[in-house]
Structure 1
Amino acid sequence: MIIAIDGPAASGKGTLGKRLAKHYGYRHLDTGVIYRAVAKAMLDAGADLSNEMLAVSAALELDPEKFGNPALKTQQVGDAASVVSAIPKVREVLLNFQRQFAADPPGAVLDGRDIGTVICPHADVKIFVVADPRVRARRRTLEARARGEDADEAAVLADILKRDERDQNRPVAPLKPAPDAHLLDNSNLDIEAGVRAAIDIVEAVRAGRQRV
């Protein structure tokens, strides 16, 4: 089974996917990390983020062993990743990696911003996660401060709104729910309640298919 998790509510979404994968014994991939890794490589090299040739080169040289680097979680890298991910050839390079991950047994949970629409359009279950931008800004600010970063909540909110607008209006793989995606609003849910809601969605889909 392939479970696709998309949506603008990035804060906590990766944790949701990880917890869901653990519940079902599947593998998990936070696809945003892939683009963050490309972005960090560009930043480290002092390169122009819009330089297609260098971005593609960085994508081809990715090392999955480095996906756990805490530096990939910073606001700067996240903002840079949104720019890099809008480059068509970068998305093309990383498409096969993500699809192969999804196809390998026993099953997979992938979360990002175009899983159900582009990466895995035939995923068994698609969940589109949303939350009030102010709630997301508060959560992300607390997460950043927990890592020892000096985060300003108003600035974080502005960045979130800017990134959402950019991702929703990009010509390639825009951020939008798949027609058959199930909406999950976690504005008022903690991670435990969010995981339970996601499991309920998966089980409802499985039960519906079992009755066919």
Structure 2
Amino acid sequence: MKRSAEIAALEQRLGHRFADPERLRRALTHSSMSAPGREDNQRLEFLGDRVLGLVMAEALLSEDRGASEGQLAPRFNALVRKEACAEVAREIDLGAALKLGRSEMMSGGRRKMALLGDAMEAVIAAVYLDAGFGTAKALVLRLWGDRIARVEEDARDAKTSLQEWAQARGMVPPSYTEVAREGPDHAPVFTIEARLENGAAARATAGSKRKAEQQAASGLLDKVTNG
């Protein structure tokens, strides 16, 4: 398969040149774009999820040799959840290379968390099939960067702490509302408001919804606990 400029540019961002670029093309093809003779990325997503899981399980065991299963499980979940995959996908501008049907294209599919997360898993599988587990592992560790080192903090995050604070006082869990979105599709900036049923609220702005939610939750927690 001849490389398109788009595929070549993504290979550079990934740091891997495919022996068979067709694997990467398939990893980028959403089901809305599939057709007879053109496979979508769902099977690769299934495989990539397992490859990512093994890489993260190994990394966590190596990072903290004294951690119990109960400590490792939430850290693992924080690293492999769809939001984390989508965040990494945004950092390498994976959305720009997605192959989407018209309906998904028109509805902003290139910035949807689920589509980005699925495609990131599919790309991991494509690298695994193209060059083996060692190369896929190196890719994941490079792209996830310091997330592994800081995952204990992320696993017990501000949103969790705020929810526990609310529940301890008989309140329903806090709500999170997107009140603004700015910037281009490939680099959006979100403003999120966290609100408790007693009316207390805080807003934060960040380059991903998850980060904005975390920062809003942190600000609201500080407000209700420190006045």
TM interval, shorter chain, is under 0.3
Identify the structure with bigger relative contact order (alpha carbons < 8 Å, sequence gap 6+). 1
Structure with bigger helix share is: 2
TM-score w.r.t. length of structure 2: 0.24
TM-score w.r.t. length of structure 1: 0.26
